[in-house]
Amino acid sequence: MKIAVATSDGIHISPHFGRSSHFLVFSVEEGRILGKELRSNTFTAHARGECHGDGQHDHGAHSHALIVQALSDCGAVLCYGMGWRAAEALGQAGIQPYLLREQATPERAVALLLDGKLQPASQDFCRQHE
C-alpha to C-alpha distance for 58 and 92, rounded to whole angstroms: 25
Q: What is the pLDDT of residue 48?
A: 55
Q: What is the pLDDT of residue 127?
A: 45
pLDDT reading at 57 higher than 50: no
Scanning 1-130, the segments in alpha helix (DSSP H) are 65-70, 84-92, 106-114
User: What average pLDDT is seen over the chain?
Assistant: 85
Give the residue with greater pLDDT, 46 vs 116. Answer: 116
Q: pLDDT by residue (tens digit) across 61-95?
A: 567 888 999 999 999 999 999 988 889 999 999 99
pLDDT reading at 2 higher than 50: yes
Give the residue with greater pLDDT, 64 vs 97. Answer: 97
- Give me the domains of the chain, ranges plus CATH numbers: 2-114 (3.30.420.130)
pTM of structure: 0.83
